[in-house]
Amino acid sequence: MPNKPQMAEDIYILGIESSCDDTAAAVLCNGKILSNIVATQKVHQQYGGVVPELASRAHQQNIVPVIHQAIAKANIGKKDISAIAFTRGPGLMGSLLVGTSFAKSLSMGLGIPLIEVNHMQAHILAHFIEEDNFKKPEFPFLAMTISGGHTQIVKVNDYFTMEVIGETMDDAVGEAFDKSAKILGLPYPGGPLIDKYAKEGDPKAFKFPKPKVGGLDFSFSGFKTAVLYFVEKQTKEDPDFIEKNLKDICASIQYTIVEILMDKLKKAVKETGIKQVAIGGGVSANSGIRNALYDAEKRYKWQCFIPKFEYTTDNAAMIAIAGHYKYIKQEFSDFSTTAQARYKI
Ligand code: KG4
Ligand code: ZN
């Protein structure tokens, strides 16, 4: 392990994210963004989902230019970096290995500490990036992480003391969006497109079933099947059904998914008595869930924390802020650390 540093006056953290299909690097100084670069891989679009082998190859191509760009845009030299934070997991093994190996080598080469970060904790800690006019949650708060790979409700007691109190038993909510979109013939990732069409549609036009799952857990596999059967039945009667009703179908799908999420969040608030609610992950960009939370602020007096769009989908600023708080605690990793495809909060 590199020598523990003297605590520098200014803490510069280089964050590296490569868990799925975004190669990202960011530099933060004392928690403030100096640069935040993301190279989103387009190669997967033609396959309708992320192809792991292609993702790791693209990470290999992207990682050097992305990190170069992040350091250049931050207007610092490599010598200024206090520590390197990287995503250890969860994610795709081949993708994680690229970021992990690169972070280790750079840390070794520069003789600065290495900090491993849990991607799901980072989605939550994105709320602690220093921004003007942005309020941070206070501990304890509830966080709902909703992405293409995860759906969790987490009780956040402290920066790194988190408890999963509900999670999906099968598909993630992002998959419910993306698979529904695929059934409608929309390209991957379909979540943002459903959101776009939903804005002009009638959310009550079609009724989709909500799963009956106990406690604070979720299930989305039945929902996707219900959308498939519905679309198959309707297109048998009218081959142009999707084309004629796309906006209404999207609005109805989004309405149901948002209701499923909000039902569980309300239950979590009731059970824990915590009224501070944060969201994170790709699906937190969705206008339906954002509006539902704004509404809950007024209706139930919750205090909601909704991330800026650039911190919703995968990014390295969130990895760097998690690294920043570990740096303050002097919690460093040694070179024996390995990528972890499954990595609990
Ligand atoms: O956090 P993220 O970038 O990657 C994972 O860790 O999975 O999340 C990607 C997911 C995809 O399923 C994508 O369709 C979904 O986030 N997503 C959205 C929206 N923007 C991204 N889903 C619904 N509405 C959106 N506006
Ligand atoms: Zn993510």
The per-residue pLDDT for range 66-81, each reduced to its tens digit, is 999 999 999 999 999 9
Among candidates 35, 36, 208, 20, which has minimal Cα distance to 98?
Answer: 20
- Alpha-carbon distance 332 to 86, whole Å? 11
Confirm or reject: Cβ of 89 under 6 Å from ligand 1.
Answer: no
Residue spans of the domains in the chain: they are 12-127+312-329, 136-307
In 103-227, DSSP assigns E strands to: 114-118, 141-146, 151-158, 161-167
Q: Which fold has domain 136-307?
A: Nucleotidyltransferase; domain 5 (3.30.420)
pTM above 0.85, yes or no: yes
CATH superfamily for 12-127+312-329 is ATPase, nucleotide binding domain (3.30.420.40)
- Decide the pairing of beta strands 141-146 and 276-280: parallel
Confirm or reject: Cβ of 250 under 6 Å from ligand 1.
Answer: no
Nearest atom in ligand 1 to 188's CA:
14
CB under 5 Å of ion ligand 2: residues: 147, 314
Exposure on the CB side of residue 343, measured as CA atoms within 13 A: 21
Nearest atom in ligand 1 to 123's CA:
1
Which ligand does the CA of 261 lie closest to?
1
Confirm or reject: Cβ of 178 under 6 Å from ligand 1.
Answer: yes
* Distance (Å) from CA 119 to ligand 2 centroid: 6
User: To test ligand 1's pocket by mutation, which of 96, 313, 318, 345 has the most ligand atoms within 8 angstroms of CB?
Assistant: 313
pLDDT digits (tens, 9 = 90+) for 281-306: 999 999 999 999 999 999 999 999 99
**Which of left, alpha, beta for 125 (phi over 0: left; psi -120 to 50: alpha)?**
alpha
pLDDT at residue number 3: 46
Spans in the chain with pLDDT lower than 70: 1-8
pLDDT at residue number 226: 97
Shared fold status for 12-127+312-329 and 136-307? yes
- Alpha-carbon distance 86 to 320, whole Å? 8
* Distance (Å) from CA 152 to ligand 1 centroid: 14
